[in-house]
Amino acid sequence: MASGNSNFLSGVPELMILRLVQDQEMYGYEIVQAIQAQSRGQLSFGEGVVYPVLHGLEKDGALKSQRREVGGRSRVYYSLTSRGVRRLFDLTDSWTATTQAIQAVLKGGSALRTV
Amino acid sequence: MASGNSNFLSGVPELMILRLVQDQEMYGYEIVQAIQAQSRGQLSFGEGVVYPVLHGLEKDGALKSQRREVGGRSRVYYSLTSRGVRRLFDLTDSWTATTQAIQAVLKGGSALRTV
DNA sequence: ATGGATACCTTGTAGTCCAAGGCATGTAAA
DNA sequence: TTTACATGCCTTGGACTACAAGGTATCCAT
């Protein structure tokens, strides 16, 4: 049910996916639900968001995939490559820096009052 | 000079603008520089970003404008309407909730380990 | 046998940032 | 004087991205 992801989410799916796959290899459908669960329903990226990002990351060499049959189900498991690890670090840094910068502006002109 | 705003910025210009104009009425060109200054160069939204957002917000009734001549310069000053105040509050809440949700996922499956 | 969950996928649309350009005025340097 | 730069407004075109919607297929429970 959870939906209505109002904005502020550009680039976030990629970051979330890389982070989740860092802990353990996962498949697309699982990732969709993990994001909902771990964000307590706040975030909800549909399969139309997740699958294209997975394919893009694999194409860029940040993820590697492995198709596997589990209980009569065909799943595509993804895991991080060394390149993906680097990418995750970079994105995390970028995320931190960006949110801090935004916070600085939200807080007010403290940077100006330093005069 | 400052540029290279890598991602994570969808909807952020609108939030920044509303927040800045909350403190004092400002004009477009001034806003462009204020964002750079207050974020210490981390954020940099060009005029091609700021002006359309200003026009959109005014069209939505969140901002009201007033053209004024200052030192032979023609400036368009923007200030918040009551609707803009409401919008700023909503966006700020949304921003906070979203970043916290993202943080929760970044931190790890603590939500799952609660089992 | 019907529906729902699982599991993969693609298409089209809409929204947003952004670089690049264009116009006009003031001021300072050359 | 003319050249350049900062100020100040604006729009256009492209590119990216989230998202809804739809499509296929299997399994399980009703």
Interface test with A, best of B30, B38, B94 (most A CBs within 10 A): B38
Task: List the nucleotides on chain C closer than 7 A to a protein CB.
Answer: 6-12, 16-22, 25-27
d(CA B115, CA B111): 8
List the domain boundaries for chain B.
12-108
**Over residues A53-57, mean pLDDT:** 98
d(CA B16, CA A104): 10
Q: Which two three-digit tokens encode residue B74?
A: 């023609």
**Over residues B46-70, mean pLDDT:** 97
Query: Among A109, A94, A114, A107, which Cα is nearest to B38's?
Result: A109
Question: Is the CB of A16 less than 8 angstroms away from the CB of B105?
Answer: yes
Residue type (1 letter), B36: Q
Q: What is the pLDDT of residue A1?
A: 37
Question: Is the CB of B40 less than 8 angstroms away from the CB of A95?
Answer: no
Which of A23, A42, A108 is opposite residue B97, by nearest beta carbon? A42
> The tokens 């969140």 sit on which residue?
B62
- 8 Å CB contact between A16 and A43: yes
Q: What is the pLDDT of residue B111?
A: 47
Q: Sorting pLDDT into bands at 50, 70 and 90, what band is A7?
A: confident
HEC-encoded secondary structure of chain A:
CCCCCCCCCCCHHHHHHHHHHHHCCEEHHHHHHHHHHHCCCCCCCCHHHHHHHHHHHHHCCCEEEEEEEECCEEEEEEEECHHHHHHHHHHHHHHHHHHHHHHHHHHCCHHHHCC
CA torsion angle B86 B90 B95 B97 (round to 10) = 150
Fold that domain B12-108 belongs to in CATH: Arc Repressor Mutant, subunit A (1.10.10)
In percent, how much of chain A has pLDDT > 90? 85
Q: What is the pLDDT of residue A114?
A: 41
In sequence order, what E strands does B1-115 have? Answer: 26-27, 63-70, 73-80
Q: What is the pLDDT of residue B5?
A: 79
**Over residues B47-60, mean pLDDT:** 98
* Rounded distance in angstroms from the CA atom of residue B12 to the C1' atom of nucleotide C17: 10
Q: For domain A12-107, give the CATH number.
A: 1.10.10.10
- The distance of B2 to chain A (nearest Cα, Å) reads 14
Strand partners for A76: A67
Strand C contacts (Cβ < 7 A) comprise: A 7, 10, 27-30, 47-48, 51-52, 54-55, 70-71, 73-76; B 3-5, 9-14, 45-49, 52-53, 71-73
* Rounded distance in angstroms from the CA atom of residue A24 to the C1' atom of nucleotide D13: 42
- 8 Å CB contact between A45 and A32: yes
Task: List the nucleotides on chain D closer than 7 A to a protein CB.
Answer: 7-13, 17-23, 26-28
d(CA B53, CA B107): 34
Q: Which two three-digit tokens encode residue B43?
A: 């954020």
Which SS3 state, helix, strand or coil, does residue B60 take?
coil
Q: What is the pLDDT of residue B109?
A: 58
- pLDDT over threshold 70, residue A115: no
- pLDDT over threshold 50, residue A44: yes
Q: What is the pLDDT of residue A109?
A: 57
Helices B12-23 and B47-59 sit at what angle, rounded to 10 degrees? 70
Q: Which two three-digit tokens encode residue B111?
A: 């939500």
